[in-house]
């Protein structure tokens, strides 16, 4: 027993479990081979183009049109998700209704369903002959094969993010705060907008940013419903593939680098939001 | 409460924490309509379209040689990518959760990096790196090794897109569990491997399984990255999602949805397993942290 105690003290002092060098070494090696080296190679390749060459590629009219569509539809999708995702999270946490557990589990479907499957399903559903698309087409609105269709697909792909970031915050929200607001004479809407909403807004913002980031790079679920008309409904990831198929490797690479830079900026932003909200709650 | 109202009214009146019944109804209606148009209907449509030409057609679409080859390649790619990422994630989680070293949070961010890379870009980086116009491509060609537009490229792309799945489950779980149990085992004379197999692994098994199931779902369903590196050689470099695309573009919608229904079924199984495991992981975390 005493010997064990002595050993424990020794361990505490040096804090050493075995295998640190082995596991860290393997982690860094594997990370470098699979992720870091291939990713940095794209940046080196882009550098071969030079600034002006890079600038020429990413400012071609067709490329600019694809940026407008990709970022515009991603933003629209993320906004739709922020609004409806908040309602879904609210309803799942606060109210009781039949099949709630099942519905709750199915919210994660966009994470689990292969994007190609989502793509052909949404395309059929929202085409002019589809279950939903025909309802809108009766009023002269075409959804599939237009930028609206791209927005639908990008809304689908980002759907779980807002729900899953807001849900736990709502679950942990202290009832006392709401009761205090009500007893001080606040209406239900005032309680929501002045007490509850400020508490969930960092999570809402994080969910929105995650949905937006996911939408920008999305390919599989979009290309079936988009129609892919150059200048109109062609997203940037598809344009990368088009350039690749035309053996325009420097062009494809330049577009990829522009997307990587944007993705990393958003990742940085999301980390900043989370740090900011953690500091705020402390 | 001297409002003079009957007791039943007071009891059923909205409390300070809920909305009037009509507002609750509207909100539930809005939420369900939203989920109906984006989740339930697309899911139902996959299965209805899959059987639109009858069960016989469904079975033949799935047992056709190209479909079987695609299924085999999908299983191969996931069968290699998932274990590789699993071993990596356990190693990464061990070093990050059990030890302190400078740059730890930066390393964690780097592990998450593939999540923020577009699948198309993920495929492209390997095409550029190993393709014929690349530096390594020349050498590979001279030695008659084909990585891109072949099975190894598909495996690599799958490894990349599923890279963080297991690690991001294991790291927080192992951090929350601490390393006191491992230290106790070592004190009692266990070797490092014994400690890992008999103490750590049982403690993280549900979290590990959870990560592996999510990783596997993505590995079998990946489309964009695999599409770029595959070269679309039918019967050779086609995975199930790519097979769905080909059938759909050939206006063979019933067959496309038949294959798609298989993948949708996998997604449903994944979600079911996820729900069960989430509960297990929570229970295990509570148990192992309450010991201390």
CA distances from A16 to A9, A86, B173, B193, B257 (A): 11, 45, 20, 14, 54
SS3 (DSSP) at A190: helix
Return the DSSP state at B116. Answer: G
**Would you call A7 and B95 a contact, using CB atoms and an 8 Å cutoff?**
no
| Res. A78: pLDDT tops 70 | yes
Model confidence pLDDT, tens digit, residues A126-161? 999 999 999 999 999 999 999 999 999 999 999 999
| Res. A252: pLDDT tops 90 | yes
Mean pLDDT over A31-45 rounds to 93
pLDDT at B143: 84
**Would you call B228 and A188 a contact, using CB atoms and an 8 Å cutoff?**
no
More confident residue, B289 or A45: A45
B217 contacts on A by Cβ (under 8 Å): 111-112
pLDDT at A192: 93
Model confidence pLDDT, tens digit, residues B67-104? 999 999 999 999 999 999 999 999 999 999 999 999 99
Closest Cα in chain A, distance from residue B291 (Å): 18
Model confidence pLDDT, tens digit, residues A190-249? 999 999 999 999 999 999 999 999 999 999 999 999 989 899 999 999 999 999 989 899
CA separation for the pair B245, A117 (Å, rounded): 9
pLDDT at B289: 66
pLDDT, averaged across chain A: 91
pLDDT at B226: 95
User: Which candidate, B220, B50, B279, B119, places its Cα nearest to that of A256?
Assistant: B119
Nearest to B120 among A24, A97, A237 (CB): A237
Radius of gyration of chain A measured on its C-alpha atoms = 24
Burial degree of A269 (CB within 10 A; 0-12, 13-18, 19+): middle
| Res. A186: pLDDT tops 60 | yes
Task: Give the model's confidence band at A15: pLDDT under 50 very low, under 70 low, under 90 confident, else very high.
Answer: low
Task: Give the model's confidence band at B274: pLDDT under 50 very low, under 70 low, under 90 confident, else very high.
Answer: very high
Share of residues in chain A with pLDDT > 70 (%): 94
List the structure tokens of B124. 């492209």
Nearest to A106 among B112, B253, B271 (CB): B271
Closest Cα in chain B, distance from residue A70 (Å): 12
Mean pLDDT over B110-126 rounds to 94
Model confidence pLDDT, tens digit, residues A150-159? 999 999 999 9
Task: Give the model's confidence band at A271: pLDDT under 50 very low, under 70 low, under 90 confident, else very high.
Answer: confident
pLDDT at B282: 83
User: Which candidate, B118, B120, B70, places its Cα nearest to that of B228?
Assistant: B120
pLDDT at A154: 97
* HSE of A254, CA atoms in CB hemisphere, 13 A: 20
pLDDT at A169: 94
CA separation for the pair A266, A224 (Å, rounded): 26
**Would you call B118 and A259 a contact, using CB atoms and an 8 Å cutoff?**
yes
Q: Which helix (H) or strand (E) holds A278?
A: helix A249-281
| Res. B261: pLDDT tops 70 | yes
| Res. B13: pLDDT tops 50 | no
B127 contacts on A by Cβ (under 8 Å): 244
Share of residues in chain B with pLDDT > 70 (%): 91
Residues 177-236 in B contacting A (C-alpha not used; CB under 8 Å): 179, 182-184, 186-188, 192, 195-196, 214, 217, 220-224, 227-228
User: At what angle are helices A115-126 and B201-221 packed, to 10 degrees?
Assistant: 50
Nearest to B124 among A30, A35, A244 (CB): A244
To probe the interface with B, which of A6, A7, A17 has the most B CB atoms within 10 Å? A17
List the Cα angle A212/A218/A221 in 5-degree steps. Answer: 120
pLDDT at B8: 47
Which residue on chain B is closest to A122 by alpha carbon?
B42
Task: Give the model's confidence band at B237: pLDDT under 50 very low, under 70 low, under 90 confident, else very high.
Answer: confident
pLDDT, averaged across chain B: 89
The interface predicted TM-score of the complex, written ipTM, equals 0.91
| Res. B3: pLDDT tops 50 | no
**Would you call A219 and B31 a contact, using CB atoms and an 8 Å cutoff?**
no
B188 contacts on A by Cβ (under 8 Å): 4
**Would you call B113 and A108 a contact, using CB atoms and an 8 Å cutoff?**
no
**Would you call B124 and A252 a contact, using CB atoms and an 8 Å cutoff?**
yes
B88 contacts on A by Cβ (under 8 Å): 26-27, 30
| Res. B231: pLDDT tops 90 | no
Task: Give the model's confidence band at B10: pLDDT under 50 very low, under 70 low, under 90 confident, else very high.
Answer: very low
A271 contacts on B by Cβ (under 8 Å): 109
List the structure tokens of A231. 């200048």
| Res. B11: pLDDT tops 60 | no
CA separation for the pair A207, A231 (Å, rounded): 30
pLDDT at B1: 41
Mean pLDDT over A260-281 rounds to 86
Residues 56-85 in B contacting A (C-alpha not used; CB under 8 Å): none
**Would you call A112 and B188 a contact, using CB atoms and an 8 Å cutoff?**
no
**Would you call A124 and B49 a contact, using CB atoms and an 8 Å cutoff?**
yes
């Amino acid at each position: 027993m005493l010997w064990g105690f002595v050993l424990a003290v020794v361990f505490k002092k040096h804090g050493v479990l075995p295998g640190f060098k082995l596991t860290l070494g393997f982690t860094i090696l594997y990370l470098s081979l699979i992720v870091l080296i291939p990713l940095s190679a794209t940046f080196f390749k882009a550098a071969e183009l030079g600034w002006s060459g890079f600038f020429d590629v990413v400012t071609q009219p067709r490329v600019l049109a694809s940026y407008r569509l990709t970022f515009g539809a991603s933003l629209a999708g993320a906004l739709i998700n922020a609004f409806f995702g908040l309602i879904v999270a609210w309803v799942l946490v606060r109210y009781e209704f039949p099949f709630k557990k099942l519905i709750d589990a199915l919210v994660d479907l966009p994470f689990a369903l292969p994007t190609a499957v989502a793509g052909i399903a949404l395309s059929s559903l929202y085409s002019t002959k589809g279950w939903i698309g025909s309802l809108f087409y009766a009023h002269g609105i075409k959804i599939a094969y237009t930028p609206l269709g791209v927005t639908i697909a990008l809304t689908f792909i980002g759907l779980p993010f807002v729900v899953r970031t807001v849900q736990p915050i709502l679950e942990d929200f202290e009832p006392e705060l709401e009761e205090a607001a009500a007893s001080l004479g606040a209406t239900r809407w005032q309680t929501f907008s002045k007490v509850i909403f400020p508490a969930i807004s960092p999570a809402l913002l994080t969910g929105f940013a995650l949905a937006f980031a996911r939408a920008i790079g999305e390919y599989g679920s979009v290309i079936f419903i988009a129609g892919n008309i150059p200048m109109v409904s062609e997203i940037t990831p598809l344009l990368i593939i088009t350039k690749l198929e035309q053996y325009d490797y420097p062009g494809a690479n330049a577009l990829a680098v522009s997307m990587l830079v944007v993705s990393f900026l958003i990742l940085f932003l999301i980390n900043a939001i989370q740090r900011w909200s953690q500091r705020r709650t402390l | 409460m001297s409002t003079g109202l009957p007791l039943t009214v007071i009891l059923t009146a909205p409390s300070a924490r809920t909305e009037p019944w009509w507002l609750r109804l509207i909100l539930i209606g809005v939420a369900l309509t939203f989920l109906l148009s984006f989740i339930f209907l697309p899911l139902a449509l996959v299965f209805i379209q899959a059987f639109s030409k009858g069960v016989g057609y469904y079975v033949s679409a799935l047992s056709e040689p190209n479909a079987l080859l695609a299924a085999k390649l999908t299983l191969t790619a996931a069968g290699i990518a998932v274990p590789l990422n699993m071993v990596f994630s356990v190693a990464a989680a061990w070093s990050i959760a059990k030890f302190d070293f400078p740059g730890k949070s930066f390393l964690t961010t780097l592990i998450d990096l593939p999540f923020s890379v577009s699948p198309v870009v993920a495929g492209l980086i390997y095409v550029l790196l190993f393709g014929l116009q690349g530096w390594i491509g020349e050498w590979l060609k001279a030695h008659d090794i084909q990585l891109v537009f072949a099975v190894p490229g598909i495996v690599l792309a799958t490894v990349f897109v599923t890279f963080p799945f297991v690690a991001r489950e294991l790291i927080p779980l192992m951090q929350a569990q601490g390393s006191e149990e491992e230290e106790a085992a070592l004190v009692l004379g266990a070797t490092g491997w014994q400690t890992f197999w008999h103490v750590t692994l049982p403690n993280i098994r549900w979290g590990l399984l959870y990560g592996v199931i999510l990783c596997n779902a993505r590995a079998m369903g990946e489309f964009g990255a695999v599409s770029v590196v595959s070269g679309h050689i039918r019967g050779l470099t086609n995975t199930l999602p790519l097979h769905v695309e080909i059938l759909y573009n050939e206006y063979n919608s019933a067959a496309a949805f038949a294959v798609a229904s298989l993948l949708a079924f996998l997604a449903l199984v994944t979600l079911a397993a996820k729900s069960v495991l989430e509960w297990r992981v929570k229970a295990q975390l509570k148990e192992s942290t309450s010991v201390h």
